[in-house]
Amino acid sequence: MHTRDAIYINGKWVPASGEGKIEIVNPTTEKIIGSVPVGTEVDVNEAVSAARSAFQSWSKSSIEERQGYLNAISAAISERGEEIAALITSEVGTPINYSRMAMVGTPRVVSRSYAKILDSFEWEEEVRNSLIVKEPIGVVGMITPWNFPLHQIIGKVAPALASGCTMVLKPSKEAPLNAFILADIIHDCGLPAGVFNLVSGHGREIGEVISSHPDVDMVSFTGSTAAGVSVSKAASTTVKRVTLELGGKSANIILDDADLAKAAKMAVYSCFNNSGQECSSLSRLLIPSSHREEIIQVISSTMERYTVGDPMDEGMKCGPMVSESQQKSVSKYISIGISEGATLISGGIGMPEGITRGFFVKPTVFADVTPEMTIFREEVFGPILSISTYESDDEAIMMANDSEYGLSGGVWSGDEERAMHVARSMRTGQVSINGGAFNISAPFGGYKLSGNGRELGSYGLDEFLEIKAIQR
């Protein structure tokens, strides 16, 4: 059992003021694997006070000192990598190989990347008679999700440390245990007291306190669009900076001159990574009507070999949903897809064959999905791929942009210039061409209801900085 009975404030593990505990359920076994304390407004106030006090000295720390801590955190994540990967798989249900790569490998590299960014980052600039100075914004409240728990935490903590900010973190209640390991790592690294603070608890209770707190200078939130709206409203009374990384319903366009077999096969994986519980999932596949049968045949064959089951089994590609409520939500979307007339290609309602427990759903593919259908428009956050056909490049672009979201996207083509035209025409924060690899140094974030602000790379660092002009 991973039982945590204290929260981390001002460099110490202290009891939380709330009653009871939050139990963590393994979505594969449905068994309780640990618990964390219930923090309250009292704990948030103490954490913010500690962060405010620590900011005075930490904001003036040297670049070399910040680099040292960032590299130390990266090294410790690497050293404890297998432990962290297994823990996150038990919290979220992520297949273990993907957990090692994305849940551990990515945050390890991101932390180290900010140490490298500081080597050449320009903190000052001369503009005519002005000196333009970049300064840390102050105390940052961080509210993070369960689907990529440690990656999303490091994506905020690392640039905050690099910028000279102090912070209060509230991790997701579904997958908070990895955040406590990070707090252990940070404590062992000797980061000055108050720079990093961890308060676990229920989002509706302490998330609003963090967002509206007058001594919090910025809120960085990752989660659902509805929750992001609530964070923005709570933060508005203090006119603090808010960065939001929210939902997505991203389109993947296969053009008629693409390597159709490769594009179709990869379309499955780009939708079903992390069991489809990914905000940037390419969940809408747009294909030329002239190649419908060929592409669907490849996808059908791929799905026949697509394994679902115990995520600790290294041969599995898809694990369970994170919770029973998430399982019910995804199952409802499958039922809606069927009832609205989409063509079921693979999967469907019910548990995968041979599985009797756990929060599993069948990885599902629908064809003939039209823009008015629910599964075309709403974020499912599970392994459901919707396939729609188009007649021209312009129609494909129009369909891709026919969404209230704009987080990610994909284009497949044998002509790079043609693919680039489509990519530039998509109203979305990231686009991959022919499966272009994720780049941790590139800005990540979205248009429209997918949020505002950017994470990762130097663009992510800028979010934590204020800009001052000194005239002389």
Active site residues: 245, 279
Tokens 């499966």, located at residue: 435
